[in-house]
Amino acid sequence: MAQRIVVDPITRIEGHLRIEAEIKDGVIVDAYSSGTMVRGIELILKGRDPRDAWAFTERVCGVCTTVHALASVRTVENALGITVPPNADVIRNLMFCAQYMQDHVVHFYHLHALDWVDVVSALQADPAATSQLAQSISSWPNSSPGYFSDVQKRIKKFVDSGQLGIFANGYWGHPGYKLPAEANLMAVAHYLEALEWQKEIVKVHTIFGGKNPHPNYLVGGVPCAINIDDSNALNAERLAYVGTLFDQAYDFIEQVYIPDLLAIASFYKSDWGAIGGGLSNYMAYGDLPTNGYADVGSFKFPRGIIMNRNLNEVIPIDGTDPEQIKEQIAHSWYDYSDNDPSGKHPWNGETNLNYTGPRPPYEYLDVDNKYSWLKTPRWNGHPMEVGPLSRMLVGYASGKDEFKEVITYALQKLDVPVTALFSTLGRTAARGLETKLVAGWSREFYQQLLANIKNGDTRTFVADKWKPETWPSEAQGVGMTEAPRGALAHWIKIKDKLIDNYQLVVPSTWNASPRDANGNRSAYEASLIGTPIADPENPLEILRTIHSFDPCLACAVHLYDHNGKYVHQIQTF
C-alpha cells in the first residue's frame, strides 16, 4: 500500500504550491501538483486600456518582475502593428539580461542551494581548507582563510543564539547531503555574498525603468529618453553606470556562480544526474532579438520544440494557430461552457471559477477529480517542459555554437554523458549555463546601444500608434518571451479601443499543471515519479526536483471569463 505524503507549503518559491506524493517501497510512484491560490488578473483586465495592461500583468509576479510587462507590450504592439525603434529593443534586451542574472543567482543561492548545502555542517569546516578549495576553483578575491573563518564565526554566533530564523527546522543532517564541510562553508559564504550582490544588477532596471521590482515599460518603446547632452535623460553617466553593473555581474557569474554550480554538481552527479528527468518534450519561445522582434531568426535564444529528446530536429511553434496551444481544465477548478476536452486556444479561452475541492481545512485533495487552480496547457495535445533546460536544448539542437560550447564545457568538466542533462541536476546546471551566456550577451547589447547612440540614433519610442484614434475597431495579438522559468506568452483581443479578452499562458502553468483529460502528467508530476525518498518525514528529494524548475505559482494561476461574467458566488464579510 502506497503512503501519501503532503508537502504544503513548498517554500523557497514564488506563490502557493502543494505536492502530494505516493511512496511505495521508498520510491515515489505517483505525484500530484496543485496551485492553491487564485487572484483573477485577466478578468480584471477586461475593459481596460490596452496600454495599461503591462502594469497589471507585471504584478502577476514580483520575482520574475518585468517579464510579464515585456510580454504584454509586445502583445499590444503585435495587435496594433507597432514596430519599436532599435534602441527600445536593445534596452528591453538589457533589462531582460539583468533580470535573468539576478533571478537565476537568487534562485541558485537563496531558493535552491539549501537543498544541496547543509548550513549546520559548515560549522565543522576548516577555514584554511575551505580557502584552498575556493582558490582551486576560482580567482574570486574573497577567499582567504580569514574570510571563511569570519563567516563561520558569524554562523556559529547565529546558531548559538537559539533563534535560527529562516534556517530553523531545515533538513540538516539528512543523509542526502553529500558536500564536505568545506564546500558547505564556501556555499554559505556565497549565499551571503549573493544576497548583497543581487541588489546591484537590478539597478539596470532602475536606470531604464525607474524602480525594481516592477520597473516601468511602455507600449511603443521604452519610457526613458536618450540625450547625451542633458542631465535629465540617459547620458554618459547613466550609460556608464549600466556598463559597470554588467561588468560586475559578469565577474560574479564567471567567478562565483558557475564555479560553485560545477563544484556542487560534482558531488551529486552520480545520482541526481539520473533522477527527475520527467517529460521528454521541451519547448522554448525564444527571445533576445538582434534585428528587431519580428525577425525570430535573429533571436539569441532560438524558438522551437524538441520531441522525445530528439536533438536532431527542432519543430516550429505558431502562437496564432488555434490548434497548437490550448488549455484544458479536466483537473482544474474551472468550468467550460462546452465540454470539449481538447481545451481552448487562448484567443478563445473561457474560464469560470468553480471550486469543487474539499472545504478547508483539508488533509488531502481529491486528486481523482479536480485538484488545482492551474489549467493544463498542451501543444498539439502534448505536455511540454519549459525553462532553462528547454532553452539550452533548443539552442543546442538548433546548432548554435555558443550553446554547444557551454554545454560541452560543462559535460566535460563534470565528466558526464549528454543524457545527464535530462535530470534534476541537468535542469539546475542549464540555468547556470544560460546565465553564463546571458552575461556575455549583455555586454554585446550594451555595446550595440552605445554604437546606435554614437551613430546619432537616440529614438526610444514610436508615437504614431499611441493614440487610440489610430487603432482599428478590432485587433488581436500575441506576444511571446522567455521568463527565467520558461516560455511565456500573452494573447489579447482589442475591441473599441479596450481590452475585450486577455489571456496569459505562463511557464509554471506548463510545468506545474495537473494532468490532462487523457491522464497525462505535466512536468512536475512526471519528474517526481521514480524518485527515491530516504525518509518520508523529511522529503528533501521532492524539494530538490521541484526547486530545479524554479516554481512561480502566482504566475501560473489566473482566470479569465469569455463573457466577462463570473459564475461563483461572492460572499461578503
Partner 1 sequence: MIDKKPTVYEEVLAAGYSRRDFLKFCGTMAAMLGLSASGASQIAKALETKSRIPVLWMHFQECTCCSESFIRSSHPIVADILLDKISLDYTETLMAASGHQAEKSLHDTMEKYHGQYLMMVEGSIPTGDEAYCCIGGRSAYDIVNEVAEGAKAIVAWGNCASAGCVQAASPNPTGARPVHKVIKGKPIINVQGCPPIAEVMAGVIVHLLTFDRIPQLDGLGRPMAFYSRRVHDTCYRRPNYDAGLFVESFDDENAKRGYCLYKMGCRGPNTYNSCGVIKWNNGVSYPIQSGHPCIGCSEASFWDNGPFYKHLQSFPGFGIESTADTIGVGLGIATGAGIVAHAISTNIRKRKHTNKGEVKADIENPKI
Residues 396-455 that bind partner 1 (CB under 8 A): none
Q: Minimum CB separation from partner 1 for residue 398, in Å?
A: 33
* 240 sits near partner 1 (criterion: CB under 8 A): no
Rounded least distance, CB 88 to partner 1, Å: 9
Among 255, 458, 476, 520, indicate the residue that binds partner 1 (CB under 8 A): 458
| Nearer to partner 1 (CB atom), residue 167 or residue 347 | 167
68 belongs to the catalytic site: yes
Tell me, yes or no, if 64 is annotated catalytic. Answer: yes
188 belongs to the binding site for partner 1 (CB under 8 A): no
What is d(CA 27, CA 21) in angstroms, rounded to the nearest whole number?
A: 10
Query: Is residue 176 near partner 1 by the rule CB under 8 A?
Result: no
Out of 81, 124, 211, 323, the residue judged to bind partner 1 by CB under 8 A: 211
Residue 174 in the binding site for partner 1 (CB under 8 A): no
Q: Quick one: which segment of 44-52, 276-284, 389-397, 481-489 binds partner 1 (CB under 8 A)?
A: 44-52
Of 1 and 157, which has the nearer Cβ to partner 1?
A: 157
Q: Is 25 in the site for partner 1 (CB under 8 A)?
A: no
Q: Cα-atom radius of gyration of the chain, to the nearest Å?
A: 24
Quick check: 341 binds partner 1 (CB under 8 A)? no
3-state secondary structure of 498: strand
Q: Which is nearest to 326 in space by CA: 489, 196, 537, 459?
A: 489
61 touches partner 1 by CB under 8 A: yes
| Contact call for residue 473 and partner 1 (CB under 8 A) | no
State the Cα torsion 227-233-235-240 to the nearest 10°.
Answer: -150
Calpha distance 155→137 (Å, rounded):
23
Q: How far is the CB of 476 from partner 1 (least distance, A)?
A: 20
Q: How far is the CB of 547 from partner 1 (least distance, A)?
A: 10
C-alpha cell at 143: 577567499
Contact of 108 with 261, CB cutoff 8 Å? yes
149 in catalytic set: no
Q: Applying CB under 8 A, which part among 357-365, 416-424, 437-445, 513-521 lies near partner 1?
A: 357-365
Q: Contacting partner 1 (CB under 8 A), which of 316, 339, 463, 469?
A: 463
Q: Answer yes or no: 266 catalytic.
A: no
Minimum CB distance to partner 1 smaller for 102 or for 281: 102
* Residue 202 contacts partner 1 per CB under 8 A: yes
Identified binder of partner 1 from the candidate list 223, 292, 381, 530, rule CB under 8 A: 223
Among the listed residues 12, 18, 68, 391, the single catalytic one is 68
- Give the whole-angstrom CA distance, residue 272 versus residue 424: 6
Using alpha carbons, select from 133, 225, 140 the residue that is nearest to residue 182: 133
Chosen residue from 4, 29, 51, 255 binding partner 1 by CB under 8 A: 51
Candidates 34, 61, 547, 558; catalytic one? 61
For cell 516592477, what's the residue? Answer: 214
Considering only the stretches 157-165, 256-264, 421-429, 442-450, report the one whose residues sit in contact with partner 1 under the rule CB under 8 A: 157-165
> Cβ of residue 285: shortest distance to partner 1, in angstroms?
22
Q: Does 184 help bind partner 1 (rule: CB under 8 A)? A: no
Burial 525-543 (b: 16+ CB within 10 A, else e): bbbbbebebeeeebbbbbb
Using alpha carbons, list the distances in angstroms from residue 113 to 119, 413, 530. 10, 20, 23
If you search the block for the grid coordinates 564541510, which residue do you land on?
Answer: 181
- Which residue in 325, 333, 322, 323 sits closest to 375, CA to CA? 333
Ramachandran category for residue 203: left, alpha or beta (phi over 0 → left; psi -120 to 50 → alpha): alpha
Helix (H, G, I), strand (E, B) or coil at 269: helix
Closer to partner 1 by Cβ: residue 141 or 362: 362
The three-class DSSP label of residue 42 is: helix
Per CB under 8 A, the list member of 28, 63, 70, 374 interacting with partner 1 is: 63
Please say whether the beta carbons of 273 and 425 come within 8 A.
yes
Phi-psi region of 521 (alpha: psi -120 to 50; beta: other; left: phi over 0): beta
Nearer to partner 1, 230 or 313 (CB): 230
Judged by CB under 8 A, which stretch of 176-184, 202-210, 471-479, 480-488 contacts partner 1? 202-210
> Among 37, 36, 46, which Cα is nearest to 566's?
46
Q: How far apart are CA 562 and CA 331, in angstroms?
A: 20
Is 207 near partner 1 (CB under 8 A)? yes
Q: Which of 136, 139, 141, 192 binds partner 1 (CB under 8 A)?
A: 192
Among 129, 225, 274, 450, binds partner 1 (CB under 8 A): 225
Binding to partner 1 by residue 218, rule CB under 8 A?
yes
To which residue does cell 542533462 refer?
421
Half-sphere exposure of 288 (CA within 13 A, CB side): 27
Which residues have C-beta within 8 Å of that of residue 15, sequence separation ≥ 6? 35, 37, 508, 551, 552, 553, 554, 555, 556, 557
In the complex, the smallest distance separating the C-beta of residue 179 from partner 1, rounded to whole angstroms, is 15
Question: Which listed residue (131, 212, 442, 522) binds partner 1 by CB under 8 A?
Answer: 212
Determine, following the binding rule CB under 8 A, whether residue 214 of this chain makes contact with partner 1.
yes
Catalytic residue among 372, 508, 527, 548: 508
Choose the stretch contacting partner 1; rule: CB under 8 A; options: 46-54, 388-396, 509-517, 527-535. Answer: 46-54
When binding is defined by CB under 8 A, the residue of 27, 195, 236, 240 that contacts partner 1 is 195
CB distance 80 to 467 below 8 Å: no
The single residue of 331, 427, 485, 558 carrying the catalytic annotation is 485
Active site residue 97: no
573 contact partners, CB below 8 Å, separation of at least 6: none
H/E element, 103: helix 86-106
H or E segment and range at residue 249:
helix 236-252
Interaction residues for partner 1, span 69-108 (CB under 8 A): 106
CA dihedral 481, 486, 489, 490 (to 10 degrees): -110
77 is catalytic: no
Q: How many residues does the chain have?
A: 573
Contacts to partner 1 from residues 291-330, by CB under 8 A: none
Catalytic residue annotation: 14, 61, 64, 68, 485, 508, 552, 555
